[in-house]
């Protein structure tokens, strides 16, 4: 299956979760084994040069764990606060109505490791910037970010590049 055909399975749901939002529903893509495999294979090609694949809770886990498995690399879960046992690094980030916190294990990866960060959607860039800062706290570096979707009007790519100009960013579909 071509990547473009797989991405066509993402359906738009108007006015969800509230009026004026055009929601991008990825569940039809996830439920089609061939389409999902096509997307994971494409994303896995972006993992060359990386030692680990990190994914942000929750939907980022779906893609990142699959990429890590397919590319024979370790998976690093980046979780909401209080979800990881053991010692963690924490990073606060802004939301539309307040703040949230992400965490990663302090020993998630080795010093000087190279990491690919994966998530389903690039919107405002706040979560991605927090994830980059977390990986850097472990002593590793982020080589690349890859997203299934990018909502261009929210300018998340610009926000990330202002703070981390050397990080490569890839999106499979821009809306």
Residue 126 counted as domain residue = yes
Q: Pick the catalytic residue from 59, 114, 136, 170.
A: 59
Integer distance in angstroms from the first to the last C-alpha of the chain?
Answer: 21
- 115 — pLDDT class (breaks 50, 70, 90): very high
Residue 42 counted as domain residue = no
* 117: CATH: 3.40.50.2020
Task: Specify the pLDDT at position 109.
Answer: 94
Cβ neighbours of 87 (radius 10 Å): 9
Residue 27 counted as domain residue = no
- Rounded to an integer, what is the distance from CA 1 to the centroid of its chain? 23
Q: Pick the catalytic residue from 57, 91, 96, 103.
A: 96
In tens, the pLDDT along 29-84 reads 999 999 999 999 999 998 889 999 999 999 999 999 999 999 999 999 999 999 99
Residue 152 counted as domain residue = yes
Task: Specify the pLDDT at position 127.
Answer: 94
Q: CA 42, 57, 152, 27 torsion: positive or negative?
A: positive
Q: Do residues 2 and 38 touch, judged by C-beta distance below 8 A?
A: yes
* 103 included as an active-site residue: no
Residue 123 counted as domain residue = yes
Q: What are phi and psi of 33, to 5 degrees?
A: -55, -40
What is the span of the domain harbouring residue 84? Answer: 49-174
Residue 82 counted as domain residue = yes
Residue 96 counted as domain residue = yes
* 59 included as an active-site residue: yes
pLDDT more than 90, % of the chain? 90
CA 63 → CA 32, 47, 58, 128, 173, distances in Å? 14, 12, 10, 15, 15
Residue 39 counted as domain residue = no
Residue 93 three-state SS: strand
Q: What average pLDDT does this structure show over 123-142?
A: 96
B/e letters for 152-174, b = 16+ CB within 10 Å, e = fewer, are: eeeebbebbeeebeebebebbbe
Number of domains present in the structure of the chain: 1
pLDDT at 97 over 70: no
Q: Do residues 118 and 64 touch, judged by C-beta distance below 8 A?
A: yes
Q: Which two tokens stand for residue 100?
A: 């949230």
In tens, the pLDDT along 118-128 reads 999 999 999 99
pLDDT at 98 over 80: no
Task: Specify the pLDDT at position 21.
Answer: 87
């Amino acid at each position: 299956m071509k990547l473009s055909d797989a991405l066509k399975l993402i359906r738009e749901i108007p006015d969800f979760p509230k009026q004026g939002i055009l929601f991008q529903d990825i569940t039809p893509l996830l439920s089609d084994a061939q389409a999902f495999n096509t997307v994971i294979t494409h994303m896995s090609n972006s993992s060359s040069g990386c030692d680990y694949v990190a994914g942000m809770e929750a939907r980022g886990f779906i893609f990142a764990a699959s990429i890590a498995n397919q590319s024979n690399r370790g998976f690093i879960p980046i979780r909401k606060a209080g979800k990881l046992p053991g010692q963690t690094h924490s990073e606060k980030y802004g939301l539309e109505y307040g703040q949230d916190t992400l965490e990663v294990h302090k020993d998630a990866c080795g010093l000087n490791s190279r990491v690919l960060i994966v998530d389903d959607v690039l919107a405002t860039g706040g979560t991605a910037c927090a994830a980059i800062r977390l990986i850097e706290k472990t002593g590793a570096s982020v080589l690349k970010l890859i997203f299934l979707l990018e909502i261009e009007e929210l300018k998340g790519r610009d926000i990330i590049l202002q703070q981390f100009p050397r990080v490569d960013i890839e999106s499979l579909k821009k809306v």
